[in-house]
Chain A
Amino acid sequence: MSTTIAQNRSFGAALWDYLTTVDHKKIGILYLVSGGFFFLLGGLEAMAIRIQLIKPANDFVSAGFYNQILTMHGTTMIFLAAMPLIFALMNAVVPLQIGARDVAFPFLNALGFWLFLAGGLILNASWFLGGAPDAGWTAYAPLSTTSPGHGVDFYVLGLQISGAGTLIAGINFLVTIVNMRAPGMTYMRMPLFTWTTFVVSALILFAFPALTVGLFLLMFDRLFGSGFFDASMGGNSVIWEHLFWIFGHPEVYILILPAFGVFSEILPVFSKKRLFGYTAMVFATVLIGFLGFMVWAHHMFTVGLGPAANSIFAVATMAIAVPTGIKIFNWLFTLWGGNITINTAMLYSLSFIPTFTIGGMTGVMLAAAAADYQFHDTYFVVAHFHYVIVGGVVFGIFAGLHYWWPRMFGKILDEKLGKLTFWTFFIGFHLTFFIQHFLGLMGMPRRYWTFLPDQGLDTGNLISTIGAFLMAFGTIVFVINVIVTSVKGEKVGGDPWDGRTLEWAIANPTPHYNFKQTPLVRGLDAFWIEKMDGRKEMTPAEPVDDIHMPNSSILPFIMALGLFIAGFGFIYQVDNSAWLAAVFIGMGILLGCMFIRSVKDDHGYHIHKEDLDKGAGL
């Protein structure tokens, strides 16, 4: 198809290719680019926060604007940066790791991405349309229901639409992993990254509906005059907190488990050993996922749920430390006795271990309900979740990008720049957040626009801001690294790291159809087994035959566009009912596309085996 004329194609053709693609590798790149963009945006917001707090009684930004920045920093980083960057890795890697030619539902995969982007753009459009949401990323009612202007409406619609995209992506990966594994790849032979993707997809399936429901109720309260969270109308604002955290806590594991998966791939490869205690690792992952649903109220210890509820949730939360500890020790013993190479991907993985251990320690401390009365909503909590989300998820994303960059783009990211990023980011990170543990207990609540002089909080905040600048520097160097590598970097072969799993058994660049012949999997670390037996390639499970591929489609993009238009209609119809037209037009576009998709047969196409040898689909 379009890839056969890949040479010299115009920008327009490339754009069209990406707008219509259903190829998991290209969708991975789309997720990477947009997630990366939002990551920089969220970082900019973080810098504004740290500059405002560089000294007491500062007024770099106004109090109201500060609340918008802090809300958007959290919302952007969680929903629009961390999630899509993880999806970028999943899309780029998981089908290859299980020996599949694509995901189960390529069309839905594209739809999931475009819905996420539409939601993200709606959310950020608020900056230019009267102000961003300002009730925190948690949007607690009644602050969120009574917040003036349209800010929180953008939050509701933006997250609702991008959340639908996430749900679709989750279901897609579940089906892919259940149905599309290559012959011989039993569940207990799946690489850990595939396992974590599998568990995370299940978490998405059960957690996101709670957010969807909560957002609908919030939307009705704000836009259609209902009173679900309004005490004066018989509603209850604590219900929102429950709904939000029933989603929100599993969400934390949705973010961290794939990072665990990344480290479980990198550590064995660069210590030349198989993962220690594979079975325990798998069960620990499943157990963390399961327990993740039992602990949401530890975010609500000070709400007044009573000592019985607080105690139950405290103990349940502590229980999660056990499978997490199992993982930490298994990683350490994977390294034990190994032949360890330290490159950038490995630096992130190695520094993750102590960093995340600190995050886990403070997690257990926070779980002690009566101690949490002091920690709750202070900078201690801010420090804790940045230790797990930056020290875990962001380190994991950086590690994964350095590790899989040659798979995604055929080149190895520059090691010198990579190490510069690592050291500045790592030192900056600890400088920023370690001190915040103490700031919290010294009396600094989170989400504070300013602090007064003479409260003993000045030095800590100054150090924290200096660290933030180091992190920003490291991030900029990473962007430069990406540019330098793509301009100057040299193409590498398909297996630059002496990899162990299936994604490294493919030539570079990855053909459109991934595997010419579906590989036969003979055990855990399938490619490693073949290499140990002296072979250079996987043993095929089938003769060379025609390859069935899905057709590209512009419909996912148009469907997302429809919801984008409808989103604005929903937000503004409270001001002027003429905006209902946008709702009808947008929803009409969406339903029209769904109708077309339903009635129009699309059987995909075949790459014929004769053409494979001539290089079709490369």
Chain B
Amino acid sequence: MKGWMGKIRALFLLSSLALILSGCGRENLTAFLPKGYGAEVSLNLIIISLAVMIFVFIVVMIIYTVVLVKYRRKKGQEDYIPKQTEGNKALEIIWTVIPILLLVIIAVPTVSATFDLADESEKEDTLNIKVTGNQYWWHFSYEDEEIQTSQDLYIPVGKRIYLNMVSSDVLHSFWVPSITGKMDTNPENENTMYIEAYEEGVYWGKCAELCGPSHSLMDFKIVAVSEEEYNQWVTDMQNFDAEAVPETASAQEGQELFQNNCISCHALGSSPVAVAPNLTDFGNRTKIAGVLDFDKETLVGWISNPEEFKEGNKMTNAEYLKNGSLSEEEISKIADYLLQLKPTTITPESATN
């Protein structure tokens, strides 16, 4: 008996120790430290349901422990036949009715929170952004502002923003744990969800619906900046000039190579083309392709052989890779061009209080 419970206790100790060691997870990624409205509503509900459930668990474990301590076969009682109890009406009514009451405690806030998070009453009066999930990147279209961007979603802090979501291919699911829970992107209908960030910051987003080999490499960011910074960002993005001549010679050549090889899929500025990520503010990103380190060497490697980094991504089918029309030197020039695409001073680094 002792060894039995001892082992269980050791197990729980070990698990909780592990938990303490790893903490609650990384800030701006974990759902345990909500930084937005949806995440807070969800966490509150999680805490309510967990509390009720822990109460139930304790009751079960008390009875369980008593039973195992008291009623194990004792020496000399091998042939003892206990009373064959059929049941007990009072007890059975108790453990039917009390769980129902406990469930009501969970069900009421659940229904209320579910309707709260689906509220669309402010949709017309605020910022609406169209979100498109693609294998394996995210596209964001600010329709009223005529801004197109990918991978990094810039939003003003403290404001309710509506995301209208679709998919261009298979199912994806938009998840930024510290801001809000998930919403799927479907190819046939538009799903709407609102987000509101409490603090400025860069929040990690992930795809949460299996969408192919590189499902785990479909990271994106929400960049929450102050209202003024956001307005600045909008103005700068709207004023982006795709024809602007870069400073260095290498980047200038890169620009031409980009125009000849890349522009059929990758758009710049407010062009609605969204076959591949919009690269308007590429130079301000913190990751290449959502998950790779942001430096020139990695960028050249990525352009030269995207399949090596993200299996099944569609850039692998690009013309320049099929007929090998770009030399490494030329790819390096394109990288120079892309890295200097910084149309705005509002970057993820601006997202601090």
Contact = CB atoms under 8 A, between A and B. Distances in A.
A431 B72 CA distance: 27
A302 B106 contact: no
Nearest to A363: B53
B31 A442 contact: yes
B81 A272 contact: yes
A317 to B, nearest CB: 10
Contact of A307 (B100, B115, B204): B115
Contact of A448 (B54, B115, B215): B215
Contacts of B22: 438, 442, 456-460
A142 interface: yes
A252 interface: no
Interface string A203-219: 00000000000000000
A180 interface: no
Given A67-B213, A339-B81, A376 B107 contact: no
Contact of B15 (A302, A315, A431): A431
A150 to B, nearest CB: 17
Nearest to A135: B210
A231 B209 contact: no
B221 interface: no
Contact of B107 (A140, A318, A449): A318
A571 interface: no
A580 B88 CA distance: 64
A278 B87 CA distance: 7
Nearest to A457: B25
A272 B82 contact: yes
Interface string A318-359: 110110011011101101111111100000001001100110
Given A443-B177, A449-B216, A318 B30 contact: no
Interface in B165-179: 169-171, 173, 175, 177
B311 A63 contact: yes
Question: Interface centre among A146, A306, A335, by most B CB within 10 Å?
Answer: A335
Contacts of A277: 86-88, 92
B103 A318 contact: yes
Given A302-B173, A455-B29, A310 B114 contact: yes
A369 B114 contact: yes
A274 interface: yes
A374 B216 contact: no
A303 B85 contact: no
A353 to B, nearest CB: 6
A457 to B, nearest CB: 7
B213 A332 contact: no
Contacts of B114: 307, 310-311, 314, 369-370
Contact of B214 (A63, A314, A430): A63
Nearest to A147: B212
A136 B170 CA distance: 13
Interface stretch (B40-48, B225-233, B274-282, B325-333): B40-48
Contacts of B56: 325, 357, 361
A337 B49 contact: no
Given A354-B61, A354-B64, A371-B110, A456 B96 contact: no
A226 interface: no
Contact of A450 (B64, B189, B216): B216
Chain A contact-residue range equals: 35 or more
Nearest to B209: A377
Given A142-B170, A306-B118, A431-B11, A315 B26 contact: no
A443 B204 contact: yes
A41 interface: no
B42 A365 contact: no
Interface stretch (B123-131, B180-188, B295-303, B335-343): B180-188
A140 B50 CA distance: 30
Given A365-B50, A378-B208, A319 B26 contact: no
Contacts of A232: 187
Interface string A138-165: 0010110010000000000000000000
B186 A452 contact: no
Contacts of A136: 210
Given A236-B188, A365-B46, A322 B11 contact: no
Interface of A: 62-64, 66-67, 134-136, 140, 142-143, 146, 231-232, 235-238, 271-274, 276-280, 302-304, 306-307, 310-311, 314-315, 318-319, 321-322, 325-326, 328-330, 332-333, 335-342, 350, 353-354, 357-358, 361-362, 364-365, 367-374, 376-378, 423, 427, 430-431, 434-435, 438, 441-443, 445-452, 454-460, 463
30 contacts: A63-B214, A67-B210, A140-B171, A231-B186, A238-B189, A272-B81, A302-B183, A304-B192, A307-B115, A314-B110, A325-B56, A330-B92, A332-B63, A333-B85, A336-B67, A337-B83, A338-B67, A341-B73, A365-B53, A369-B110, A369-B114, A376-B181, A427-B11, A435-B15, A441-B32, A442-B26, A442-B31, A443-B29, A447-B215, A455-B29
Given A136-B210, A273-B83, A310-B114, 20 more contacts: A272-B80, A273-B84, A274-B86, A304-B183, A306-B118, A310-B118, A330-B87, A333-B88, A337-B82, A340-B73, A353-B60, A354-B8, A423-B7, A431-B14, A431-B15, A442-B24, A443-B25, A445-B206, A445-B207, A447-B210
Interface of B: 7-8, 11, 14-15, 18-19, 21-26, 29-32, 38-39, 41-43, 45-46, 49-50, 52-54, 56-57, 60-61, 63-64, 66-68, 71-73, 77, 80-88, 91-92, 95-96, 99-100, 103, 106-107, 109-111, 113-118, 169-171, 173, 175, 177, 180-184, 186-189, 191-192, 204, 206-217, 219, 291, 311-312
